[in-house]
Amino acid sequence: MDLFTQIFGLIGCLMVSVPFLLGTSIGKAEWHPSTWRFILTNLAGACILLISLFYHFNLGSFVIELFWITGGCISVYKKFKGQ
């Protein structure tokens, strides 16, 4: 189970980090922060990381994931409203 949770957390990390790198640092248009691809991948990654923290808890990581998920939910809401 420990190896599974480590891999699960790593997948979440990649789902948050790679789109951020591609969309903001490298400037790939298909990964722009306002695209559904970016928003949903980031949100899913943050949720995966949050779940993995239930097995290997770290308060700082837990709090940042809550903020990351909140930001993702706000982005989804704004996208649905057409903003």
Say what the pLDDT of residue 82 is.
86
52-79 pLDDT tens trace: 999 989 999 999 999 999 999 999 999 9
Three-state secondary-structure class, residue 49: helix
Output the six-digit token pair for 69.
């998920």
What does pTM read for this prediction?
0.91
Name residue 49's amino acid: L
